[in-house]
Amino acid sequence: MRYYIETYGCQMNVYDSGKLAEMLKENSFSETPNPGEADFILVNTCSVRQHAEERALARIGELGRVTEKTKAVLAVCGCMAQRLGPEILKKRGVDIVVGPDAYSVLLPAFEKSRATDSKTLDTTRNPGFRFRVSSDRAGQGLRAFVGIMKGCSNTCSFCIVPAVRGPAISRPHKEVLEEVRELLDGGARDITLIGQNVNAYGDEELSFAKLLAMTSDAGPGSRVRFTTSHPKDMSESVIEVMAERENICEHLHLPLQSGSNRILERMRRGYTTERYREIVGAGRDLVPGISITTDLIVGFPGETLEDFKKTCAFVEELRFDSAFMFKFSPRPGTEAASMRDDVPTLEKERRLSELIHIEQRVSWDRSAALVGEVMEVLVETEKKKGVERFLLGRTRCNRTVRFSGPGELVGKFVNIGIDSSKGISLFGSLVHG
């Protein structure tokens, strides 16, 4: 049996898709990159913005036409499955729709669909549901995510995540560390602890700072990262752990959303730009070379030109290493969806392109400033482009670096002298010795 999987959205979905793939492989499936050859097609979806939903719906339509021809089983998983269950099940060619707490029904539903051509819908909420941790993680790749919590208990007024993923639930730390060890034993060298708001982690008395330190102890000689941090819950103790531990990478993804306190309040983010500036200051003071990345939304309801200019000025001041930038997208059922969406679409687009322009200039300058440095790089892959062969690796601050070298270096840490930059990517050469 062969499966094909397509993933939309955040790292949480990438992690879940990895687990789905693991579950299928344990049940004698093998992966195919071609949906036309698959017996089981899975689409793991995202509801965070309307655009993400539209793209996934269009793709589900295309894949539905494929499965009608090939008689493969088509399953839709993830946040859209949870939010729009029955509506998606009506789509042509769709056989199974399951929400994130119901993945254990996938295999029985696949068998049932093949045997009787019947459909399955399961959007049951099961706060205790977790994928079983497999004991053999060999060949999972050099980079691996480890989920430390699911859901989110914040009330950001624009966000649909709490509605589709439920409240924040922290995974027991023993289970997290067990998965980290299995991944390291299987060859992973760059582990990222993930959750929507990792700083809210709490397993009995154990805080995120403590879990981070324990993860660092579990993998001496391997890299440890984490995402996403929330400025409201970010504590200086996490920055101290980063500063103390050699193997915790110098990267902090800290979504700002807006540079205007008035808009941050309407977004119910629970911090001010002053507090945000303080955290970034502590990071840059205590962790030399730290890369700070962020998320920004333009055109939130009530955002005046003055509020938007504050965001632009804050980006110029804080000089982010990179940013994901979005137009506000009203999500059904959220508090912001009932506010007057008063920034016209064309103006949202204009603000977005102005912000992207400013942010890119800042980020590209920060990359250019790394030229001349020698950086530790984990070699991730060898690529071919025409007759050219080159290696791609990742710095501790999460930038990709392209350089020449033998393929045997894949999986190793090397020192690379940075010769040039293009956008946020770096180009360099091996430093021997």
- Binding residues (CB under 6 A) for ligand SF4: these are 152, 154, 156, 159, 161-162, 196-197, 230
CB of 229 to ligand SAM, least distance (A): 8
* Residues contacting 210, CB < 8 A, separation 6+: none
Under the binding rule (CB under 6 A), the answer on residue 228 touching ligand SAM is yes
The least distance separating ligand SF4 from the CB of residue 234, rounded to whole angstroms, comes to: 12
C-alpha–C-alpha distance, residues 294 and 97, integer Å: 33
Provide CB contacts within 8 A for 319, sequence distance 6+. 362, 365, 366
Q: Which partner in ligand SAM, ligand SF4, none is near 162 (CB below 5 to 8 A by kind)?
A: ligand SF4
10/193 with CB nearer ligand SAM: 10
266 counts as binding ligand SAM under rule CB under 6 A: no
Q: Which of ligand SAM, ligand SF4, none does 398 bind, CB closer than 5 to 8 A by kind?
A: none
Question: Which residues from 6-25 bind ligand SAM, rule CB under 6 A?
Answer: 10
328 is a site residue for ligand SAM (CB under 6 A):
yes
Place of tokens 């020449």: 404
Measure the CA–CA gap between 98 and 165, rounded to whole angstroms: 13
CB of 411 to ligand SF4, least distance (A): 33
* Binds ligand SAM by CB under 6 A, chosen from 230, 251, 348, 396: 230
What is the DSSP track for 169-214?
A: EEPPHHHHHHHHHHHHHTT--EEEEE-TTGGG-EETTEEHHHHHHH
Examine residue 293 and tell whether it contacts ligand SAM (CB under 6 A): no
What is the C-alpha separation between 191 and 222, in angstroms, rounded? 8
Q: How would you label 262-280 residue by residue, b for 16+ Cβ within 10 Å and e otherwise? A: ebbebbebebebeebeebb
Residue with token string 């980006």: 315
Beta carbon nearer to ligand SF4, 152 or 379: 152
Residues 63-82 that bind ligand SAM (CB under 6 A): none
Q: Which does 45 bind (CB under 5 to 8 A by kind): ligand SF4, ligand SAM, none?
A: none
> What CA–CA distance (Å, rounded) separates 330 from 156?
12
Binding status of residue 49 toward ligand SAM by CB under 6 A: yes
The interface mask with ligand SAM, positions 116-155, x = CB under 6 A, is: ----------------------------------------
Is residue 83 a contact point for ligand SAM (CB under 6 A)?
A: no
CB-based contacts of 247, cutoff 8 Å, min separation 6:
216, 219, 220, 221, 222, 223, 224
| Phi, then psi, of 220 in degrees rounded to 5 | -60, 135
Q: Which of 13, 47, 260, 329 binds ligand SAM (CB under 6 A)?
A: 329
Which of ligand SF4, ligand SAM, none does residue 100 bind (CB under 5 to 8 Å by kind)?
Answer: none
Residue partners of 255: CB distance under 8 A and separation at least 6:
228, 230, 231, 294, 295, 296
What would the two tokens of residue 362 be?
């800042």
User: Which residues sit at the interface with ligand SAM, rule CB under 6 A?
Assistant: 10, 48-49, 158-159, 161, 196-197, 228, 230, 255, 257, 295, 297, 326, 328-329, 331
